[in-house]
Structure 1
Amino acid sequence: MDVIAWALVPVVGMLVAALTAVLIAVVALKGTASRERAAVLRAVADVVRAVYGRRTRLSDPAPYGDAPEG
């Protein structure tokens, strides 16, 4: 029984993390115009990375290369 628990806990944890990311994206995209979806998805990706402890681009001065010229 312990072997099954050791095998299922990581799988269930990854499944919960994936479902959480999908739900965050669905809620964030609901009601957005098509021209705004790319920016919303970038922000959602930053939030998901921050929540799950991965390095984010939030600290970069121009994270997506959209800094003003000049």
Structure 2
Amino acid sequence: MADYTRRERTTTHVEYVLPSPTNWAKLSKIHNAIHCELGPELSQYEDAVQVVTADDQIIFRFVKEKTHG
């Protein structure tokens, strides 16, 4: 019999979304809002926030919660 473990994981992301194209001032506002929400400890890591694009949007997201079952 094989030794294995089954599990389900759920990850909740917080997303801030801007239309694309956008202007420089909007990026600064998003950066400040996310920095405030994450706090100084988490926002210091360069991989704390992912930036992805989808259609005509720029999405900034970070993990809020991971649930392991």
Determine which structure has the larger strand proportion and give its number. 2
- TM-score normalized with structure 2 length: 0.33
- TM-score normalized with structure 1 length: 0.33
Q: Which structure ranks higher in relative contact order (CA pairs < 8 Å, sequence separation ≥ 6)? A: 2
Highest Rg: 1 or 2?
1
